[in-house]
Structure 1
Amino acid sequence: MNSLGGILLILNISVALGQVNSNCQHGTLRLVNGGATYRGRLEICINFVWGSVCDDSFDTNDARVACRQLGYEVDGGQSVSYYGSAYYGQSAGPIWLNRLYCTGFENNLLDCNRAVGIGNAYSCGHYEDVGILCPACSTGSVRLTDGLIPTEGTVEVCNDGAWTSVCDYNWGYQEAFVVCRQLGLPATDAQPVYYSNSFGYGHGIPTLYNWRCIGNESSLNHCLKSTSSCYYSYYGVQVYRISGVRCKGSIVPGNCLTGSMRLVGPNGPNKVEGRVEYCSNGVWGTVSSYGFDVRDAHVVCRRLGHQTPRALIFWNAYFGQGSGPVLFHYLGCTGNEDRLEHCTYSSDPYYLSHTNDVGVKCSERVLTDCINGRVRLVNGTTPDEGRVEVCINGEWGTACSSNWYESETKVVCKQLGYSQDGEGSIFRYSKFGDGDYQQFLWNIQCTGSETNLASCNNYHSDNCYYGRTVGIKCYNTSNCTDGEIKLYGGQSNAEGDLQICYDGVWVFVCDGWGIPPNVVCRHLGYQDNWASYSSYSLFGGNNDVAPIIYIEFYCNGNEDSLKYCSNYNYNYYCDTAFGFTCSSTVNCNNGTIHLTDGEGDNEGRVEICTDGIWMTIDARYWNYNNAKVVCRQLGYYDTWSVAITDTNWSGKNERVGYRYSCTGTENELSSCSNYSPSSHANNWFNQKRGGIDCQYNNTESIEIYC
């Protein structure tokens, strides 16, 4: 679809849903219905209309990007959470985003990969609207941001879990004294800063308060405050008026000389690996990882005495956070400079946080005798798996996992001598280590028909996030016929994660596609009554066992085999498999019941024959009235019946059927009111089962809940 068609599609969706344009800015996010600013249903503004995000494939990486975009600190190991199934309620707008695949390092959700376009809510409804929980701060705490040193900056106050800047109306020395004192810094000579554009506008919408302090308060929260306007007119434009402060710092100059450099690793300062630190005015400071690349790292390593340096870069305070000022941000070295201060750099204060401190590992470049374009697999436990390495300019480099999919894996396996049509498993996030190489192939794009990786379009880059190298496992063709299917990992052949013979190799089918369970079960020769599905590799299917292929089947539900369904391979990465549970032939009469797993024949888990198969009972609504009916149906006295709900009877291989609600007067359980079960097998795993204990003596009924 061209860009104009995409815009028309989005506009048509908005009109169809009856949405009214708002004043929101395209791409901005908000959290709704969470009761606090840092949690709620995630909504994004597209073409002036607020809409929701689907929970399909949504994970922690996606939540981390959303929280970062909303202004929360997420790069220092802070915890973020996400909640599916419309946990914070359903949106009334369109579903704008679906099947996101963020790496976790993007600054905007729209920068993430997506399996479907904006506004494509395929297989998703508002009952799947996702919500997130961002790391909150403590109400009333203060901090300084965007300053060139830690003791100055825009004043931000934690309000309802989120950091917001402060209006500078009536902001003066008394307020500055209090802020510095609250931060543990001397209040003497504290200076207020007005219209602090030099520091930045801070995060979030400013708190609309007019703070009035005496000057001796211990925290800003102890000062009087009243609501206030936060705007002023600047040549006819309404802009925020933001408060700032300069405190007297407590940093004591050390014994370093300006221009000195060091790496601070796990064992202290050294010249090989660690956090990059630079001495300025007698104080050790750090370097921001934003914009830092191998050319900057070469300057660092050369300054430390490495003549022909190789460098591996570590982002996001991998070696811990420094304590001094953040001195360099967005370095722009060419790689030939002798000192960092000779490079261009930015002093943009927004990113000057120690959570972004960069680290490097230096070594000397050693050329090898590898042949350009050759590939190999390294650090695997068997020869057919490992980290993908490519010979580039006489030196081994690694492949980055960004945009690495099935077709790229197929080409490497072919180049290594495996089957021409075979498949391979993909492992992201440096499963086989990162290696010691600075050269990376990034954004490789193969069609799958190439015979070697060098024939694919690729971008030779010196940058790849640490922890993002790609690994694969190659397979030769097996003795299967394309289109055959089987189930893996179940306790019987009638259940498990779905495998299909694809290009002569047994592969798993990616989780989440709407394959009708009854079609799979009919294909396998089982009854199609009570066929169910499972997700998230419930039965253990993973890329270590076989490749997981991102293939979609289009069935109407009446087919006798998957081969009659059309399908399409999306060539995306996937790491969880789709599973199914089918009904084996059972000789039982509908409505009959029996007890299992009890110590005697008068107690145990209740199973009822439903549509010709034995099913356990959902323990919700299970009580002594139900127990009376079951004991009566089994021929025991019904005046002393014990209803039991026990998680010890739970298990993924025992199908949970109806929930029953009896009055206690029925003669058979099937005569009681009942509620349909879930067809999603994951919901059964920890579901309590209904059981009973019937007695021969005539006493009264009781309930026991475990």
Structure 2
Amino acid sequence: FFHFFILTRIPLPDLLKCPVFCVCISLAAVELRLKNGSHRCEGRLEVKYKGQWYTVNDDMWSSEAAFVVCREMECGDVLYIPRRAHFGSGVGPILFEYIDCIGAESTLKECCFYYIQDYSKQNFFHSKDAGVVCSGLVRLVGGDGPCSGLVEVHSGEDWTLVSEGNFTFLTAQVICAELGCGKAVSFLGDMSFKESDRQMWPQEFQCKGDEPELWFCPRVGCPGGACHSRAVRVFCSVYTEVRLMKNGTSQCEGQVEMNISGRWRALCASHWNMANANVVCKQLGCGVAISAPKGAYFVEGGDQIWKARFHCSGTESFLWNCPVAALGMPDCTHGNTASVICSGNQTQVQPPCNDSVSEPAGSAAPQESAFNCSDGRQLRLVDGGGPCAGRVEIFHQGSWGTVCDDSWDLNDAHVVCRQLGCGEALNATVSAHFGEGSDPIWLDDLNCTGKESHIWKCPSQDWGQHDCRHKEDAGVICSDFLNLRMVSEDQECAGWLEVFYNGTWGSVCHSPMTPMTLSIICRQLGCGDNGAVNYSIVPREGSRLRWVDQIQCRKTDSSLWQCPSGPWQHRSCSAEEEAYLSCAGMRPKSCPAAAPCTDKEKLRLRGGDTKCSGRVEIWHDGSWGTVCDDSWNLAEAEVVCQQLGCGSALEALQKAAFGPGNGSIWLDEVKCRGTESSLWDCAIDSWGQSDCKHEEDAGVRCSGEQFWLKTRPGSNPVRGIFSLSEMLCFILGALLFLTVIILVTQLPRWRAGNRALSGFEDALNEAVYEEIDYLATMKEDLLGSTAQGTDIPAEDYDNAEEVPVPESSPASWMREGKVSPNENGMRASQTGSSLQFSGEVADLRKGEDSPWLRQEKEGDPGYDDVELNDP
């Protein structure tokens, strides 16, 4: 029984229901179809067998079988396997065979169908009809969203690029329609892919444009059996055509209308500006814009006015290439439609430029004005995260340049925001708040009144005349600037969804929050491709703005700002309806990578010439920020260097020595003793509270990485600090060092010993000679006394025995076989003295001090002190 279970791979619960056996049957004539789906590649699975269509009970349905179905129908990958009659209940008989596939089969009939006898005796209903959702034959990848990118089709095994060879706009239209992405805007060959990069689809599609899906288009093999080497990239959009309507006809002046999802709709004049107008005129081949009056060509009875706002810089080729914002836009007032008057055609000559950028004193700039020269000056905001915030840049004489922040204030910023259709200025930033630009600095010392229509009409220095550097680039934040974040104490990519609008953060309402809307939000935040709304979270306390509700994003929207929604309101919903989202990329907070992270990982140096020098940056509250140089000195720098494992601090640099940073200035007035293990242990003010600019960012230069704190990959760690090989090298080095120290310290003693030995030998020789002379004289005296018959007193001989002799242990004398100094009178004394001298010489050669050496040092003559008592 168990052997049969292993061979058949039937799930054990199903196998146990077999009364006696399960029989594998062949369904060679099987056909497939998917019913009730939104496209050909999704729906309820139905199998045709013996001329009749069957539904499949989801108890008999496996994911491997679903993969085979998608492959057989040329529908790409399996995206989802819905159950419980997700695509509605079918009719007719139900297939009671368990479909056993391994997933590699080309068709479902290659799988084994096990007829389970007991199942046929039970009453089954269509409430458990199985279904499948496949990706489809075609997809777009590598773009801003699912509606733009490289064209790929599924080969049955993997996704394969489509060649641009003989690719037509009609084929692009079919692809965009199949993907629910509106209509094709353009297509082009992608130069970044070469023939050797990836295999191309071996066929060319020859669509006529009316096919419901790419699968239905005729196909032919590529010429010569090999397709063109370049892949094709397609751009789809709900915005597909634009026209200017006057008196019912399309001309080079009139009301601006766009074809949006197949319907012509007028555009609202709110925030419509000359940059937008110029793009329309250029796109239509009507020259340049002369003016953009509001509502001048309004026609009653037209479709509802489209309220999305376009933010063109003027360089775009098509209006739909401009950034667009629809989120929270209010309904357009009646008759407030955008209009444009173009110069007529591109050959018409504009008046020459007037380089005088100041206007006559006391003149009031009109609300809408034409460009006054043909050089096409343009304005844009860069690196601010949207079209309505960033570094101010002007296109002049063929290149983009910046504006110096000398005298830069809100009046200047108001002109920029109004000119760009971004509302009013909230902040006039200085000191390259949005980063440093490049190329020319076009304007300096601007002195706008705030009423000018263009920034270059304000009084200023001549074009290109300045005394600034790019660290003084000016920027603005306008009221229409939008930003997005999630607020949570301990999580990244999960929390309360908030939008920054009109200078204030406010929450977002969760109704209805479709999967497409959640996908766009999570992708925009860099938190994965999908998410979910948490409805069980406890509402937040406190009062706050609840900006927007009824967000309904489409596949064609690449950001939340393009999604239709309700208007901006202070109270769009109740506190219980604030959206708390959890995205696929959810992770613990306060760590730039995977958590848990260490203090070292929350600190980095940027802009330096080595990895141990640069601007100090800190990870806090989900973003990197800088440290102000107030009170910044070597003590603080020492803590930073030690924390990063970069040795000791060499310099504590101020005044953005490594360039100004971006984002928040997290710390100010940091005070360290220099012994802290982490910058967080130092005395600091509140996070994010400072009176500094990025031109005051602090930096450090450290001595370098401390090699003994590192553990090489693959080594055996010892106590988590040293590897075993490093520990052995350290010990051997220490021993060698100690040996050298000992040798150096002993060298003077050896030299002193050698000098003492030499002096002692000289003194010894001299003492021996004196003793011989003395003994000879004494002998002569004794002989003389005997000859004269004079008696020698007995104590005279005893005095001779009292000659001081150096002491020596009797045991040492006996070991060496020497005669004791107490034997044989004077002979013993002489012999003992001689032996004792030789013993002391040996001791000196061992580096030991002797009584003789000590006497010599004291200036004693040694043996010369020995005297005999006179009679």
Where on the TM-score scale, by shorter chain, does this alignment land: which range? under 0.3
Bigger proportion of residues as helix: 2
Whose Rg is larger?
2
Q: Which has the higher contact order (CA 8 A, sep 6+)?
A: 1
TM-score, normalization: structure 2?
A: 0.22
